[in-house]
Amino acid sequence: MSSNEIFYVCIGLLSIVLTIYPNRHLFTAKGGGVAVLEAVYYLTALAALLVGWYFNFQYMRTYGAEATWSNWTKLLFVNPASASGGQDLLFANVVLFPLWTFADGRRSGMKWNWIWFPMSALTSFAFAMALYLALKERQLRWSAAR
């Protein structure tokens, strides 16, 4: 693993800690065990994180000094098929995900709802979304137990 990859993993893991830590109360006895749906979200999050990081590391190794966010975004639009997926990713992650996590997270009582978008940029959109859904399930159970 290169120093860039180690740095990328470290800031990604830090963003995860900054998501979990303010919501640590959800993991107390009141939060209960892991529900089946919550477990599916965690497994999906883990798979998305590992697969996403695998391809991001391939990108960094292939493009070296040209492995920038702007170049990564340009590469989303190299052909109509990737452009279709790329525009979906950009609209969902850059516009809808922050609006959703801010509004829905606040209504549900989750904390630090601003962190989800930066975390999605440092990990992967699918990881951030799956982790958000898992913590939301936990938040609903925790709130019901109060």
**What was the pLDDT predicted at 145?**
86
Cβ neighbours around 99 below 10 Å, total: 10
Cα pseudo-dihedral 9, 90, 36, 29, rounded to 10: 60
**What was the pLDDT predicted at 118?**
94
**What was the pLDDT predicted at 113?**
93
Per-residue pLDDT of the chain (146 residues; tens, 9 = 90+): 888 899 999 999 999 999 999 999 998 877 678 999 999 999 999 999 999 999 999 999 999 999 999 999 999 999 999 999 999 999 999 999 999 999 999 999 999 999 999 999 999 999 999 999 999 999 999 888 87
Structure tokens at 118: 């930066």
CA–CA distance, 125 with 106 (Å, rounded to integer): 20
Domain span holding position 108? 3-145
**What was the pLDDT predicted at 28?**
83
**What was the pLDDT predicted at 31?**
67
Which residue from 106, 108, 98 is spatially nearest to 146, judged by alpha carbons? 108
Structure tokens at 92: 């969902």
- Cα separations in angstroms, 40 against 29, 92, 117: 21, 21, 21
Total domain count, the chain:
1
Place of tokens 């107390």: 28
| Model confidence pTM above 0.85 | yes
